[in-house]
Amino acid sequence: MQPLHGRTALVTGATSGIGKATALALANLGARVTITGREEARLAAAVRDIPGAQGVVCDVRDAEQCARLLPALQADLVVANAGLAIGVDKLHEGDCAEWSLVVDTNVKGVMHTYRHTVPHLVGLGRGDFVFLGSVAGRQVYPGGSVYCATKHAVRAFYEAARLELHGSGVRLLTVDPGMVETDFSRVRFRGDTTRAAAVYAGAEPLAPSDVADAIAYAVTRPAHVNIGEIVMWASRQASTTLLNRKS
């Protein structure tokens, strides 16, 4: 019997990167998986790569859409993954519209996802809610103020949720990776693929599947075991500001 047979998983923002790899890992372990993203075409392409998955167009920033679509999925394993960074501007030089996009996605998007899935977990008296945090939720770096603030918020949600859901039977996990090679940097550099590639050059970054493995490990432990926090780094990265690149 596959360890996640009979489980219903939801992974937000799973058209690429960590979300897509996690959805694939959960499906391969037997879960019935729903993935979300903002665009139908990207979603359809990702669904084709994940056995048995269904795709639901849902923008996590949209409170009404989340309220209408997420409870009906009745997921008992939720990965709040959708997130992004834009730019590396100093806070006093940043773009207000870009800040709104990042805060609305990374903070309010997680709140919407949590609000519209966790009542079902509480009703079941079991299940898993996984926050995709970041080492940026534990450390800051120049040019990362807004992104780091949003990931510190995610860490606060995780810590508060542990207290609020104490005794409910629901397990909570925050997975906080360092550098992972995904579309993240292309999005951050507003489509500049050369700049994005330079982020990862010689860094031997984590792969999305490395993060997916960690999530899969945590959610397949016996019910009495709650892996709460996973911090994972590329071996060449010591902190958000210290990276030993291969020459």
Q: Which residues, 205 to 244, sit near ligand NAP by CB under 6 A?
A: 208
CA–CA separation, 133 and 149 (whole Å): 11
116-155 residues near ligand NAP, rule: CB under 6 A? 132, 134
Q: Of 114, 141, 147, 217, which one is the catalytic site residue?
A: 147
User: Interface with ligand NAP includes 61 (CB under 6 A)?
Assistant: yes
Length of the chain in residues, anyone? Answer: 247
Count of residues engaged in binding ligand NAP, rule: CB under 6 A: 32
Q: Which is nearer to ligand NAP, 7 or 112 (CB)?
A: 112
Whole-number minimum distance, CB 148 to ligand NAP, in Å? 11
Per rule CB under 6 A, is residue 37 in the interface with ligand NAP?
Answer: yes
Contacts by 146-155, CB closer than 8 A, 24 or more apart: 146/85, 146/91, 146/94, 146/99, 146/102, 146/103, 147/85, 147/102, 147/106, 149/103, 150/83, 150/102, 150/103, 150/106, 150/107, 151/106, 151/176, 153/106, 153/107, 153/110, 154/106, 154/107, 154/110, 155/131
To the query of whether residue 147 is one of the catalytic residues in this protein, the response is yes
Residues 166-185 that bind ligand NAP (CB under 6 A): 177, 179-180, 182-184
Interaction between residue 83 and ligand NAP (CB under 6 A)? yes
Of positions 36, 113, 145, 220, contacts ligand NAP by CB under 6 A: 36
Catalytically active residues, by annotation: 147
